[in-house]
Amino acid sequence: MEKITQRLFSWASILDPKTRAQAETASTMPFIYPHLALMPDAHLGKGATVGSVIPTLGAIIPAAVGVDIGCGMIAVKTPYAESDLPADRRALRTAIEKAIPLSAGNYNGRVTRDHTQARLDELASDAEQAGFEPASYAASWTLQLGTLGSGNHFIEVSLDEDDQVWLFLHSGSRGVGNKIAQRHIAVAQELCKKWWIDLPDLDLAYLAEGTDEFWTYIRELRWAQKFALLNREEMMDRVVACFADWMGVETVDRLEEINCHHNYTSKEKHFGKDVWLSRKGAIDASAGTMGLIPGSMGTRSYVVVGKGNPVALNSSPHGAGRAYSRSAARKAFTLDDLRTAMGDIEYRDTAAFIDEIPAAYKDIDVVMQDSVDLVEIRHTLRQIVNVKGD
């Protein structure tokens, strides 16, 4: 841990100057209490650094939550070992790709699954209680549940240190969550301009607690966080069904299941005060809390348990964190580089994934070493099947 300033502590041994400067700027906002915590995977973000934990009193910065509200991970441990698996892994990958719409803008057709409709009904009821209509943000929101998206979102079949099979995926609140986030970031910017508030960065615009705008954001934020959680559950149900078909069995027992956000806000108590804690690219690592830290495409992921480090605000990293921007990665690496990095992992061989090559991310081994005071590793997972959207 490095104490950068009185209001900024960092666990990142790999930290470029621009990211450091951005975090320092965010930590100067007057309502930060007691300090901002920078995680080992920290990298440059919009307004607030990705991989930062931001506790606030009486205000929230919408950009400090991020535009993919509720983005996170879900993992299921199965009773099967590698030796139980069929040889044709491509068949499982293509089945998952048919069951779950991939890439930005790709959604479900007509809803036919009972579990999908039940979740949609729950979300519609929650939105009514929150006093807003999700269709005002995205007319197709009901078709977005159970869809993956693109970028660093993925679905994987992995093996742990005992060759036990895990199903693992990463996604968030999709287009509807993004529209909700963008709207409230804009509202915060408009209000700060109206109130003549001088901001060090426009994307650090905030909403003051007690205003209608603040509570509207909280209600819609919580809805989007639930959408993201249920979206991961929905996709996992479909992945489990595909896996069962591939294995030739009726059902698959879930020996363990973990579902956690890493872009969200919650009310928590830290250093004696109730704060709004925004984790932007960080997970809850309270003592005894299970969490998931993925590497990158082709590298290891981790099942962890939190140690409850108070200075880190009971948090830990959410993944490897980018070392190259997407455009820089495309200039630095080739399709052959990606093929070499992926080895014998079953994946869709396409140049669309070059910017997701493992070398575009921080070394996950360094990130986990930096996290030794934050989490304990329970399982180390290596992929055998990878599914991504363009």
Give the CB-side neighbour count of residue 157, counting CA atoms within 13 A: 28
pTM, entire model: 0.95
What does the block give as tokens for 173? 């609140």
What does the block give as tokens for 308? 């409850």
Check: CB of residue 192 under 8 Å from CB of residue 206. Answer: yes
Q: Which of 43, 153, 270, 318 is catalytic?
A: 318
Model confidence pLDDT, tens digit, residues 322-331: 889 899 999 9
Q: Which of 167, 145, 172, 186 is nearest to 281 (CA)?
A: 172
Q: Is 231 exposed, middle or buried (0-12, 13-18, 19+ CB in 10 A)?
A: buried
Give the CB-side neighbour count of residue 35, counting CA atoms within 13 A: 19
- State the DSSP code for 37: E
Q: What is the pLDDT of residue 151?
A: 84
Distance CA 325, CA 79 (A): 39
Model confidence pLDDT, tens digit, residues 32-45: 999 999 999 999 99
Q: What is the pLDDT of residue 110?
A: 61
Residue with tokens 């009904």: 121
Q: What is the pLDDT of residue 108?
A: 80
Domains of the chain: 2-387 (3.90.1860.10)
Residue with tokens 């007319």: 139
Q: What is the pLDDT of residue 377?
A: 98
Check: CB of residue 169 under 8 Å from CB of residue 74. Answer: yes
Distance CA 150, CA 171 (A): 9
Q: What is the pLDDT of residue 289?
A: 98
DSSP strands (E only) in the chain: 2-5, 8-10, 36-43, 50-56, 59-60, 72-81, 154-159, 164-171, 207-208, 256-261, 263-270, 273-280, 282-284, 290-293, 301-306, 315-317, 375-387
Rounded mean pLDDT, 321-340:
92
Q: Residue 183, Cβ neighbours under 10 Å: how many?
A: 16
Q: Is 318 a catalytic residue?
A: yes
Measured between its terminal Cα atoms, the distance across the chain in Å is: 37
Q: What is the pLDDT of residue 111?
A: 62
Share of the chain above pLDDT 90, in %: 90
Sign, CA torsion 74/79/83/89: negative
Q: How confident is the model at residue 332 (pLDDT cuts 50, 70, 90)?
A: very high
